[in-house]
Amino acid sequence: MSDDKNDPVEIFRGHVELDYQYTAGVSASRFLRAVEQGKFLGQKCPVDGRVYFPSRGSCPMHAVPFGDDSTVELPDKGTVVTYSIVRVPSENIPLELPYITVQVLIDGADTALGHVLDANLDDVRMGMRVQAKWKPKSEWTTSMANIEYFVPIDEPDADYETYKEHI
Partner 1 sequence: MSEPSLTAPHQLSYTYKRSLGPVFSKFFTALRDRKVLGMKRRDGTVLMPPKEYDPDTGESLDEMVELADAGVVTSWVWVPKPRRQQPLTQPFAYALVQLDGADTAFLHAVDAGSEDKMSTGMRVKMRWADETIGAITDFVFVPAE
User: Does the footprint of Zn ion cover residue 109 (CB under 5 A)?
Assistant: no
Site string for partner 1, 110-149 (x = CB under 8 A): --------------------------------x-------
* Interacting positions 31-70 with partner 1 (CB under 8 A): 32-33
Nearer to partner 1, 84 or 141 (CB): 141
Cα(54)–Cα(28) distance, integer angstroms:
8
Q: Are 31 and 55 in contact (CB under 8 A)?
A: yes
Which member of 33, 36, 37, 62 binds Zn ion (CB under 5 A)?
A: 62
Cis, bond preceding 54 (omega within 30 deg of 0): yes
Element (H, E) at 36: helix 25-36
The answer to whether 31 touches 53, Cβ cutoff 8 Å, is no
State yes or no: residue 20 binds partner 1 (CB under 8 A). Answer: yes
Q: Which H helix or E strand runs over 149?
A: strand 147-152
3-state secondary structure of 166: helix
Which is closer to Zn ion, CB of 59 or CB of 124?
A: 59
Tell me which stretch binds partner 1 (CB under 8 A): 15-23, 120-128, 144-152, 154-162: 15-23
In the complex, the residues that contact partner 1 under the rule CB under 8 A are 1-2, 5, 8-26, 28-29, 32-33, 91-92, 142
